[in-house]
Structure formats: structure tokens, C-alpha cells
Structure 1
Amino acid sequence: MSFLKKLKEKFTTQSDSVTEKFKSGLSKTRNSFASKVNDLMKRYRKVDEEFFEELEEILISSDVGVHTVMDLIDELKDVARSRNIQDTNELKSAISEKLAEMLHKDDQDGHLNMQESGMTVILFVGVNGVGKTTSIGKLAYRFKNEGKKVLLAAGDTFRAGAIEQLEVWGERAGVDVIKHQQGSDPAAVIYDSVKAAKSRNVDVLLCDTAGRLQNKVNLMKELEKIKRVIEREVPGAPHEVLLVVDATTGQNAMSQAKIFGESTDVSGLILTKLDGTAKGGIVLAIRHELDIPVKFVGLGEKIDDLEPFDPDKFVYGLFAGLEEEAE
């Protein structure tokens, strides 16, 4: 049985709301990517160099990333040779299989480093406008629903309205926010938040930070200071440093991931607005080229639409309907 058919069988028989979210959330990327692949399969019945050249262009236009595409095409050529694949239809499953392999690098995707005893501290970084505050609110809601005691730290004291925005999300999620005035020292806010979290026996502390990139040196110094404050109060923390990027920006998200990766010890990625873009291939580029685990993806605007990243569900969502259309 082909890899695509296995995925289809697995997620059709085990269909759940999360699988459906991946399927609907990736519809724009799928409609762009899958329809082009289907068209390519119809026009080329034979696997040859021209076929691979067009496939390469389709993948690059889906923001899979040039280096990732080159590696993928090389691997597909090897598969075609080793399995003696002549018909392009037979290569469909190999494409999905190789994409899944690229995403299945380790078991860190979709999993957070939660402490079994004591408090888990998660630091959020990312430029303004990517959905950082929204992601914090949605994660707070998720943790609260899991029965955890959650506290938010309004560490973005730079952007006008950032503190108020976090408070709105805190109200929606039903959790408290520790804040100072706009323009305050972010490290002081985080320090007070950690102290408050300890005194309240909080399970999870979610810390917002400023999202400016104009000066990498200042950004790095500020984040290092915040991390020192956290580690001094909670040894081993922060347990996660999550970079939030906007999927709709495509390769721009890749640039941000590189800059923050150089400035901080990013442990994972939250990719927002995946449902609003045809550039979902950026997940593959970031995962393959920067080797940063994808922890969560935004698949809608509702408070419960931030889901743990599942490589198989992502590939299924990307290819759902491809076989039926092509057969």
C-alpha cells in the first residue's frame, strides 16, 4: 500500500476534530500545491528531467525553500532510479513520503518540555504582528482547560497596546496577567511575574517579550537579561523559548527564524495563520534548513484553533484529495 493511501486510511478511520482542522487549515496551500501537482501528473506521464524541473518550480512557489527543494528533488530522483519508477503517478506517494521524512526529524515536534513537578516557564519571542500575544492567550486557554494553573507575564513593555492586548486574552482564557506600566524594564516585569507565580503555586508561566528587530544587539541583551532573571529564580528555566512566526509571510518567516535563532536559544516554533496562506510549505523549509522543532500551528481564529504540530497530519492535510483527483 502506498504511503498516501496509508495516511488516508489512517486518518479516515481515526478521523477527529484535530485532523479536520489540519485538513481545512491547509486548504489554501493544498489548493495551490496539490492542484499544480495534479496538473503536472496529467501533463507528464513519464518521469524525466523536465518533469522534475517543473516539480521543483511548484515546490519553490509554495515556499518550501530552495535548499529544501533541491534536497527533496535529489531524493526523489534516487527513489525513481532505485524503484525503477517510470510513471509520474507512481511518484505521488514518494513525494508525500519524503516530505513526511523531512518533518519527522525527532520527537520534539508538537511536544512541550513540561515539568512533572514544579513550575514550567515558557518564553515567547518574535517580531510584532505575527500573532505572539494571540498565541500566548490560546496556549493559556489550552493549559487552563487541562486543569493547570496559569499566569501571564506582560514582558512586552515597548509596543503601545501590548499590555492591554495580553489582558484581553487573559480575560478570555480566564487567567491573571502580571504587568507594569508601558516603558518599564521588561526584566523587572518578568522577575515580579516569577515571584507571583511561585507564591500562587502556578503550574505554567507564559512570558511575553518585545518584538523589535531593529537592533539585534539590544534584542539579544534584553532577552539574555530576561533569561538570567528567570534562571536565577527557577533553575533550568525557561523550559521552552518559542519563536512565533507568521506563515503568510513565507520566506520572511525564514529570515526571522534565522535572526532569532542566532540571538536566542530558540527551542521551538509556533507557526500562526497557516489557514490564511498558500505558503504552508514554509513549515518544511524551517524544519529542514534550520532544524527547529515545530511545536504548534495556528489553524484558525478561534481560541481553540492553536494545535500541536503533527507531521503526518500536516502531510495528510497537504495531500488530502490528491489521489482521488489524480486517479
Structure 2
Amino acid sequence: MKVFREINELRTYLKSERLASARQGKFIQTGLVPTMGYLHEGHASLLRKARGENDLVVLSIFVNPIQFGPNEDLDKYPRDEKNDLQLAEREGADAVFLPSVEEMYPVPTKTKVLVQQLTSRLCGASRPGHFDGVTTVVSKLMHIVQPDNAYFGQKDAQQAAVISQMVADLNFDVRIVPCPIVREKDGLALSSRNVYLSPEDRNAALVLSRSLLTLQSKVEAGEAVTVGQASEDIIHTISVEPRALIDYVEIVTFPGLSAMEPGQVLAEAEEEVLIAVAVKFGNTRLIDNIIVTKKGEAIHV
């Protein structure tokens, strides 16, 4: 496994690998796994998926400052380069890109990539400008690596939808591969921010998966649960937990993220339906979701 901290060094390596393969009459597939580091089993699952589908796997680790708001946790965001590199090597990454902020943004960026409409709801409403930073850095990484496939966890379902829209609108020659949420045995969705949780808050945070799993059970049992009923039930379940402060509970189409009528039955929707929650426990904001398919089968993503 090779580690690169400069864009030109990574590009030179990738060109060399592709050229060597071309000389042998082979076309190699390249997979990109973009992350902000502090890797866990969720990231490992992305790497395994990429490893199984590509000849060359590039992992990027970059805490992107332009996707953080002024009162967010940029300076405190957890970092552990040694552990990240160990996990990357264990899961078969060929190259790790670890640029500095100065390498990615040598001067204040005057260009941003903006996706409209999809970014106005859910986390986009709570974190103005967040997705502008995400789409900008992901577009930069895609131009640098030029992957055939890029892998994103569906815990950030809105991010996956926004990136997919950007790729479609701007004709990026890359396939976006959403990968399922990975959870602890007790149901808590894996997140780098889980490290912030006190033992009491971590236990309280189980209310997120519990509220979603309860809804999942009802849909899979064939109950005609409406959008309005589902929203009310989730809000009630979470609100009973005194340590939980709800940011949002939203039920929208997926991947279009359009509003739905309260009386719409989830299992009868013509599109997939995203049920997404964002809740604060202490100073830690967590997100979670499930998707209800067109056939009414609720699945965690």
C-alpha cells in the first residue's frame, strides 16, 4: 500500500499503473472511497466492496473544512492516522491519499459545485452550505483520481443522493455505488462522531434505530402506515428519551428527496421512500435512516 500527500504524486502513480496495464493489453478498474478518516467498520465495508469490484482501490482521507459551518466541530473532529492506515492496509487499499488543507486549497477556493433542490431539506436545511462543500471536494477528488466507481455509505443517504445528482448532471464518467449502513450489535449506526458520546448519551442514542426498526416491522408486516403516522410515531418514540433533541424527522422520496403527502401509504409509493432522522445527544448530532422500497419492503441503508 502506498501513501500519497500530494496531488501530483498520486496522479503520477495512477497514470503509471494504468499505462503499465495498458501495455499488457489490460484495462484496470479504479475504485475511490472518499472519507474524512477516523475509520471504522463502516468504512471497512466500503473498502471491501471496492476491493471486490476493482483492480486498483484508492482511499482518500481528508477532513474537508469547507463543509463545516462556523459553529461545527471541524477542530475537534476525531483523527487517528495510524489506525486509519492500518485499517486501509488490512482491507486491501492500494493507495491512500492524505492531503493537507493547503494541498487541496492552496488559495481560498473561488469555485464551488452546487446542487440545488436536493440540498434544501434534511441536513441541508440544518447545515447551510454543508453540501456545497461536499460536492466541491468530491468533484476535486474525482478529477484527481478519475475513478470508474466511487463508494459512499447510505447512512448519509442525502449525501449519496446529492453526489449521484451531481455526477448525472455534470456527466462525470463514474458509477456511484451506495453501500448499506453498518451497525453495532445493539443497532447504533456506526459513525466517527460516536466517539463524542458519553456512556449515557450512547445508550440514549439507541432510540434512533429503535424508532426506525419499529416502523420497519410495521411495514414488513403489511400495515398500511401513512407518511403522517410514521412521522408522528418516530417523533413520539424519540421524544420520550429525555437526552434526545430532535433536529428533524423527515419522510421524502428517494433519491429525489421530494415532500410527500401525509396520507400517502408508505408501501404504496411509486418511488422509494427515505425515512431520515437527525437528533442531538449532548453536543453530538447523529443521523440515521431506513428506505422503504417500492414493494413496501423496509430495509436499512
More helix by share: 1
The structure with the largest alpha-carbon Rg is 1
TM-score, normalization by structure 2? 0.33
Structure with the bigger RCO (C-alpha within 8 Å, sep 6+) is 1
